[in-house]
Amino acid sequence: MANPLVALSLLALCAAATAFSAPSRAVGSRVARGAVHMADDKAVVQQYFNTEGFDRWNRIYSEDGEVNSVQKDIRNGHQQTVDKILTWIDADANIAGQTICDAGCGVGSLALPLAMRGAKVTASDISDAMVEEAARRAQAMGGLKVQPAFSQSDLSALSGRYDTVTCVDVMIHYPTEEMAGMVRHLASLADKRLIISFAPKTWYYDLLKKVGELFPGPSKTTRAYLHPEDEVVKALEASGFTIQRTEMTGTNFYFSRLLEAVRA
């Protein structure tokens, strides 16, 4: 008899297959053939998060947004990751006045609480729609000690120097062969600390993802990239950083490895 926990996990991943997906089968087929150029890949991701992807993720990242059980689980998992980062920040008790670059800020789930703590936040996202929503939320909430500066930008175009750089739940959209370059670039922006999260590549998560890709649907999981933790750590160390703190968040439909690295 099949292990019921494994069976449930496989069903869970299949149900969540569209959560980190690109908008079309045509794109998925090109990825399968290895024919998508990096620039095209970014353009598709940008288009997705400006259209149907924005509607989906804005609901997921809204406490009062109407979502199904899978999306609610992902919402809770993402919030757990954000809360773990804020726990680190609060434990250090020195964030007020520090400069932070939140790369891939989405609707401001991390940028806004950092600004409420007095950090000078520069936040960006590849999606205009996400940035506009983040700015709207900042204006609506009030009480921010410092108003965040939001802008639309691809990660590779970011520049400047910051005390801390954060990049949460973004690496899942980048193939492993691009991951090291992305980490190096983010590290070049950080004077003191880099906080990143990613979906770890383990035999178990890799198996779940592969099974999920077998199921038909309007969107597939071809855009959900898993990364070996040792490769991420290697990229950080090559950039002059050392791991200081780690966390892992795993729910039924969400899994994310969180690393805090500081300059060696």
Identify the structural domains of the chain with CATH numbers, from first to last: 4-263 (3.40.50.150)
Instruction: Return the half-sphere exposure (C-beta side, CA atoms, 13 A cut-off) of residue 169.
Output: 24
- As a whole number, mean pLDDT of residues 40-51 equals 78
- As a whole number, mean pLDDT of residues 49-56 equals 84
Q: Over 80: is that where the pLDDT of 144 sits?
A: yes
Does residue 131 contact residue 111 with C-beta atoms inside 8 Å? no
- In order, the DSSP letters of 78-127 are HHHHHHHHHHHHHHHT--TT-EEEEET-TTTTTHHHHHHTT-EEEEEES-
The three-class DSSP label of residue 183 is: helix
Non-local (6+) Cβ contacts of 204 within 8 A are none
Does residue 118 contact residue 95 with C-beta atoms inside 8 Å? yes
Residue type, 52: E
Torsion angle of C-alpha atoms 230, 236, 242, 245, degrees rounded to 10? -70
Q: Over 60: is that where the pLDDT of 260 sits?
A: yes
The one-character DSSP state at 197 is E
Distance from C-alpha of 114 to C-alpha of 137, rounded to nearest angstrom: 14
- As a whole number, mean pLDDT of residues 53-80 equals 89
Q: Which residue has the tokens 């670039």?
A: 185
Non-local (6+) Cβ contacts of 173 within 8 A are 20, 45, 223, 225
Q: Over 70: is that where the pLDDT of 254 sits?
A: yes
Candidates 76, 89, 75; CA nearest to 163 is 89
Q: Which residues of 40-61 are buried (b: 16+ CB within 10 A; e: fewer)?
A: ebbebbbbbbbeebbebbbbbb
Q: Over 90: is that where the pLDDT of 116 sits?
A: yes
Take residue 48 and report the two structure tokens written for it: 């997705």
Q: Which helix (H) or strand (E) holds 204?
A: helix 203-213
Mean pLDDT of the chain, nearest integer? 82
Q: How confident is the model at residue 170 (pLDDT cuts 50, 70, 90)?
A: very high
Distance from C-alpha of 205 to C-alpha of 217, rounded to nearest angstrom: 20
Cβ count near 120 (within 10 Å): 20
Take residue 220 and report the two structure tokens written for it: 């597939």
- As a whole number, mean pLDDT of residues 158-173 equals 96
What confidence score (pLDDT) does residue 211 get?
A: 58
Take residue 256 and report the two structure tokens written for it: 């994310």
Q: Over 90: is that where the pLDDT of 117 sits?
A: yes
> How is the chain split among helix, strand and coil, in percent rounded to 5?
50, 20, 35
pLDDT tens per residue, range 200-246: 986 556 656 565 555 555 444 346 789 999 999 999 999 999 999 99
Q: Residues of the chain with pLDDT > 70: what percent?
A: 76
Provide the pairing of β-strand 190-198 with 120-125. Answer: unpaired
What confidence score (pLDDT) does residue 107 get?
A: 96
